[in-house]
Amino acid sequence: MKTKSTRTILDLGALGVDNAVLLGRYSYYGASSSLQPHMHESIMEIVYCDRGQQVYEVGQQQFMIRGGDLFVTFPNEQHSTADQPEEKGIVYWLQIEIPADISHFLGYSGKNAASLLNALKNLPARHFRGNTMIRKYLDEIFQFGKETATDFDRLSIHIRLAQLLQLVVVCSETARNQPGNSLRIERVKKYIEDYLDTNLSIPVLASHHRISQSHFKRWFKNEVGVTPMDYIQRRKIERAKKKLAHHREFNVMDIAYQLNFSSSQYFATVFKKYAGQTPLEYRSRFFIEDLAN
């Protein structure tokens, strides 16, 4: 599946950074292929979603990761995007080797190495909110890892990695003490779900929840990780998927108008943007599965 994207990989191991494998970043401007089930032996993977949202699956449990979220998979855990496309957005991922010998880690030794390793291996949550320093540290590691990296740059990477991992531990602890989104944002989401087939807009949502339009947009994006209109489009496409899969009595035009799209052509454009394929291509998957059964 082809999509406009930029993808950057920094080979930390090749730079000689102890216990660090790689740091990656992608910017997708449309849905891309799904991430198939895989695992990393002795490697912890930390994902930071800067913009957009993404489904991840570990075992039989699915997680919806949104802008500002951190998501962790531990060594030898199978994970994937649950047959969902990698959605448009900006995502960073960091792979760190978790050694069996806890006396040396990231250039630290003794109690310092052991305390950081034990904190990482015993994170109280795998999915939690990050903060503004997470991206700052990740971007700085990319900057220090340039092709002409000096010994001082490599030292700086070690320091930033330790600061980043310490911050991951702190954010996970904070999530345990302050679980879940606020009741207010959940009410907004329920309102959107209840009126998804109407002409939802920023003025309508802001007015209903008694908040200014500018404040509503900032607050919503800060809480959810995407803009209100982006969130609405995503929810419409998720509902459209269910109709395409389970309601063959409705054609594409019917579904487009049921979800208040101005035309079937516009609906198809939005659907492909988020699902990575056209409505008819998506529906055909279920016809083929039924024939096979």
Q: Is residue 182 part of a domain?
A: no
Q: How many domains does the chain have?
A: 2
In angstroms, rounded to a whole number, what is the distance separating the alpha carbons of residues 272 and 264? 12
Backbone angles phi, psi at 241, to 5 degrees: -60, -45
Judgement on whether residues 107 and 198 belong to the same structural domain of the protein: no
Judgement on whether residues 139 and 210 belong to the same structural domain of the protein: no
Q: Is residue 170 part of a domain?
A: yes
Question: CATH code at 48?
Answer: 2.60.120.280
Contact predicate 87/61, CB 8 Å: no
Query: Residue 287 to residues 127, 239, 275, 281: CA-CA distances in angstroms?
Result: 35, 18, 18, 10
Q: pTM higher than 0.75, yes or no?
A: no
In angstroms, rounded to a whole number, what is the distance separating the alpha carbons of residues 37 and 132? 30
In angstroms, rounded to a whole number, what is the distance separating the alpha carbons of residues 95 and 73? 10
Q: Is residue 193 part of a domain?
A: yes
Task: Give tens-digit pLDDT for 28-51.
Answer: 765 566 677 788 899 999 999 998
Judgement on whether residues 79 and 104 belong to the same structural domain of the protein: yes
Q: Is residue 69 part of a domain?
A: yes
Judgement on whether residues 170 and 224 belong to the same structural domain of the protein: no
- Examine the fold and report which residue of 150, 177, 204 is the final residue of a domain before the chain moves on: 177
In angstroms, rounded to a whole number, what is the distance separating the alpha carbons of residues 206 and 208? 6
Judgement on whether residues 68 and 158 belong to the same structural domain of the protein: yes
In angstroms, rounded to a whole number, what is the distance separating the alpha carbons of residues 52 and 221? 10
In angstroms, rounded to a whole number, what is the distance separating the alpha carbons of residues 210 and 216? 9
How many Cβ atoms from other residues are within 10 Å of residue 126's Cβ? 20
Judgement on whether residues 193 and 275 belong to the same structural domain of the protein: yes
Amino acid at 209: H
Task: Give tens-digit pLDDT for 98-138.
Answer: 999 999 999 889 999 999 999 999 998 888 889 889 999 99
What is the model's pLDDT at position 75? Answer: 93
Q: Is residue 171 part of a domain?
A: yes
Indicate if the alpha-carbon torsion angle 248, 254, 260, 265 is positive or negative. positive
Question: CATH code at 251?
Answer: 1.10.10.60
User: In terms of residues, how long is the chain?
Assistant: 293
What is the model's pLDDT at position 291? Answer: 52
Question: What are the counts of helices (DSSP H) followed by strands (DSSP E) for the chain?
Answer: 10, 12
Judgement on whether residues 167 and 195 belong to the same structural domain of the protein: no
Residues of the chain short of pLDDT 70, as ranges, are 1-4, 29-34, 85-87, 176-183, 287-293
Q: Is residue 59 part of a domain?
A: yes
Judgement on whether residues 147 and 202 belong to the same structural domain of the protein: no
**Domain of residue 282, residue span:** 188-292
Judgement on whether residues 164 and 209 belong to the same structural domain of the protein: no
Q: Is residue 61 part of a domain?
A: yes
Judgement on whether residues 163 and 202 belong to the same structural domain of the protein: no
What is the model's pLDDT at position 3? Answer: 47
- Examine the fold and report which residue of 112, 142, 177 is the final residue of a domain before the chain moves on: 177
What is the model's pLDDT at position 193? Answer: 92
Indicate if the alpha-carbon torsion angle 265, 267, 270, 273 is positive or negative. negative
What is the model's pLDDT at position 160? Answer: 96
Q: Is residue 183 part of a domain?
A: no
What is the model's pLDDT at position 201? Answer: 94
Judgement on whether residues 150 and 242 belong to the same structural domain of the protein: no
